[in-house]
């Protein structure tokens, strides 16, 4: 290869690189501009359906797009700590908001709705399960939430209230743990397990595929779901609009999906 050919190749590559850099620069400017009309919300997986609908309504009204990050509350909590980015946080339990508040990452929050744990079993209830005690019987296959998510933490507390024999029996029967409440429910829908404990609103979404059994109020623990504005927000005005929208127009959407609205503020 001649020196002139090599020089030509270098010039061509340099030209391509310059075009790419210019393109990326304009792309970056455009992205930055668009971000003014985008809200990033970390939301517990159990609230995906109502929040998707609320996001569409909000965008239609204000022209502001909502980008959701759905996962287990514990994973979202860790992600916020690691990234120090985002506008809205809606975990399945106020515990996670309180923990972020201690770290100075919460601007404000308010309680919105409730998560009510229930037992779900395969349609027709072939194992005749009617209580927590039945979940402790030998041979019952159970799915529970990971201990890092709201439903998992809540079930652990419920079992402790129920007592040692029930707690030991249930934990012995656990064959799988899910990273989200949706995943836990799916194990019952797909008949991979006999039963699981999930939030009532999630169970209602699959009421044609599972049977729902209430947990004795003596043992059950109802969790409050908050919505919070993160201190990491880059556009407080838009975050505030969405926050207020969820607390007003959003309530009827949550009720539509079987959630019980909280009557008490933080």
Looking at the domain covering 117-214, what would its CATH class be?
alpha beta
Distance CA 76, CA 58 (A): 22
pTM beyond cutoff 0.75: yes
Question: CA–CA separation, 130 vs 165, rounded Å?
Answer: 17
* The pLDDT of residue 164: 86
Which residues, in sequence order, are CB contacts of 148 under 8 Å at separation 6+?
A: 72, 74, 75
The pLDDT assigned to 243 comes to: 98
Angle at 204 between CA 202 and CA 205, to 5 degrees: 70
Q: How far apart are CA 247 and CA 107, in angstroms?
A: 16
105 HSE (CA, 13 A, CB side): 20
pLDDT of residue 35: 60
Nearest CA-CA partner of 97 in 197, 219, 229: 229
Q: Is domain 35-107+225-261 annotated with CATH 2.60.40.420?
A: no
Q: Where in the chain is the domain with CATH 3.40.190.10?
A: 35-107+225-261, 117-214
Residues of the chain with pLDDT under 50: 1-34
Q: Kindly state the DSSP code that residue 209 receives in the 8-state scheme.
A: T
* DSSP class of 63: S
């Amino acid at each position: 290869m001649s020196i002139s050919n090599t020089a030509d190749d270098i010039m061509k590559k340099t030209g391509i690189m310059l075009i790419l850099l210019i393109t990326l620069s304009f792309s970056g400017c455009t992205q930055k501009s668009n971000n003014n009309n985008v809200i990033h919300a970390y939301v517990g997986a159990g609230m995906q359906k109502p929040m998707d609908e609320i996001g569409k309504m909000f965008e239609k009204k204000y022209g502001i797009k909502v980008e959701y990050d759905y996962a287990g509350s514990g994973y979202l909590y860790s992600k916020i700590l690691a990234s120090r980015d985002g506008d809205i946080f809606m975990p399945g339990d106020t515990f996670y908001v309180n923990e972020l508040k201690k770290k100075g990452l919460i601007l404000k929050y308010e309680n919105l709705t409730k998560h009510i744990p229930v037992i779900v079993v395969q349609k027709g209830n072939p194992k005749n399960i009617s209580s927590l005690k039945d979940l402790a019987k030998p041979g019952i296959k159970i799915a529970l939430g990971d201990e890092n998510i709201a439903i998992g933490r809540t079930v652990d507390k419920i079992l402790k209230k129920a007592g040692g024999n029930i707690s030991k029996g249930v934990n012995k029967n656990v064959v799988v743990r899910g990273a989200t409440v949706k995943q836990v429910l799916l194990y019952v829908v797909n008949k991979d397990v006999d039963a699981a404990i999930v939030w009532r609103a999630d169970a209602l979404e699959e009421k044609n595929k599972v049977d729902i059994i209430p947990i004795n109020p003596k043992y059950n623990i109802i969790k409050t779901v908050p919505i919070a504005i993160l201190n990491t927000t880059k556009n407080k005005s838009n975050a505030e609009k969405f926050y207020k929208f969820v607390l007003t127009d959003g309530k009827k959407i949550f009720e539509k999906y079987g959630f019980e609205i909280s009557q008490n503020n933080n």
